[in-house]
Amino acid sequence: MSFTASVKDEVSKLECTETEKISELSAIVQNSDYTSFIKIVTENNSVARLIYSLFKDLFNVHSRVSVKKGYNYNKKMLYTLEVKNKVDDISKALGIGINSPEKFIYADEDLLQAYLKGVFLMKASVNDPKTSRYHLEFNFDNLEYALFIQKCLNYFKLNSKVLSREHRYVVYIKEAEKIGDFLRIIGAVKAVLYYEDIRIYRDHKNMTNRLNNCEQANVDKIIETALEQVKDIEFLKEKDVYDLLSDKEKEVSFYRVKYPEASLIELSEIISMETGNKITKSGVYHRLNKIRQLALKMKEKSEN
């Protein structure tokens, strides 16, 4: 079962009040075929059961249910529910509008959450957090309705956006934290726990990788700098000006050549331990800088 299917399976089994059921069913019908009768198609068995129960509990209407294999590549089963009785009364009770429902359907946060749950059941998909990207999207045919859903989502500060894709309109959320918040809003507790566990693991792994990359970059920089210092020392020896260095500078140069991959702090500890003369990291840097300056001065003379 896909992650989307498991979330829909979970939220379709949640208990809710009668007014919340009305808001949820309103969203379901609004996002289904609705002409002279109501026709709802879903791939999810639990969602089909929920819809059947909602019509029965709210309007004492028994939907006509049919099941057949789909024509999509994975040949999933399609559950079709048709309602042909009390259609006008149902439409009025559910506040069905042309581009958005009547305001009483989403009058408070609980009703709005129930409505968004219904929209999710019919029009949404969410990537498994184990995949390479975080993504939640809703697909609609109507731009005004897509903008309405975006407004509803952003009421909860989910930072959703709208784009046009092949004559359809997609409302999407890409931020991992915001997707987790949406799952909380529709009551998908199990999905939230799973999602957050994977997200935290991935974030921790990414942070570890960034730290490792940063550490490697620092190591590479240390080695590159050390090799340049070794070249300066070798250059001074080639030009027979090495003896212009002081004894302390010669001592540092000796250990730099001997330990070309050591950092400055490592070099200071090695020199202090092997010679018995304590020297700090800044002391090593200062003497190597003196060597560098002399090498640059001699190179300038060579070029002239």
Question: If you write DSSP's letter for every residue of 9-39 in order, what string do you get?
Answer: HHHTT----HHHHHHHHHHHHHTSEESSSEE
Residue 212 lies in a domain: no
Do both 27 and 174 map to the same domain?
yes
Number of C-beta neighbours around residue 203 at 10 A: 12
How many structural domains does the chain have?
A: 2
Is 256 found in the same domain as 149?
no
Residue 297 lies in a domain: yes
Residue finishing a domain among 187, 204, 234: 187
Domain limits at 29? 3-187
What confidence score (pLDDT) does residue 71 get? 65
Which candidate, 153, 167, 78, 165, places its Cα nearest to that of 117?
153
Write down the pLDDT at residue 28. 96
Say if 211 falls within a structural domain.
no
Q: Is residue 194 one of the residues assigned to a domain? A: no
- Is there a single domain that holds both residue 174 and residue 259? no
| pLDDT for the residue numbered 7 | 95
Same domain, 246 and 173: no
* Same domain flag for 176 and 253: no
Does residue 35 sit in the same domain as residue 80?
yes
Select from 166, 187, 208 the last residue of a domain.
187
113 shares its domain with 257: no
Q: Tokens standing for 29?
A: 């019908």
Residue 209 lies in a domain: no
SS3 79: strand
Contact between 292 and 249 (Cβ < 8 Å) = no
Residues 155 and 277 in one domain: no
Identify any residues that bridge with 67 across adjacent strands, giving them in sequence order: 79
| Euclidean distance between CA atoms 168 and 43, whole angstroms | 20
Model pLDDT, residue 94 = 94
The verdict on 159 and 235 lying in the same domain is: no
- Per-residue tens of pLDDT for the chain, all 304 residues: 889 999 999 999 999 999 999 999 999 999 998 778 999 999 999 999 999 999 999 999 999 999 987 665 556 789 999 999 899 999 999 999 888 999 999 999 999 999 999 999 999 999 988 876 889 999 999 999 999 999 999 999 999 999 998 889 999 999 988 999 999 999 999 998 988 888 777 776 667 667 667 767 777 777 788 788 888 888 888 888 888 888 888 888 888 888 887 788 888 888 888 888 888 988 888 888 888 888 888 888 777 6
CATH of the domain at 81: 3.10.28.10
Per-residue model confidence as pLDDT tens digits over 245-267: 888 888 888 888 888 877 888 88
Partners of 69 in beta bridges? 77
Q: Are strands 124-126 and 77-83 parallel, antiparallel or unpaired?
A: unpaired
- On whether both 36 and 124 belong to a single domain, the answer is yes
In the listed set 164, 187, 210, which residue is the last one of a domain according to the structure? 187
Residue 197, in any domain of the structure: no
pLDDT in tens, 199-243: 777 776 667 667 667 767 777 777 788 788 888 888 888 888 888
Please compute Rg for the chain using Cα positions: 34
Closest CA relative to residue 134, chosen from 72, 167, 183, 168: 183
Residue 201 included in any domain: no
- Do 160 and 45 share a structural domain? yes
58 and 168 assigned to the same domain: yes
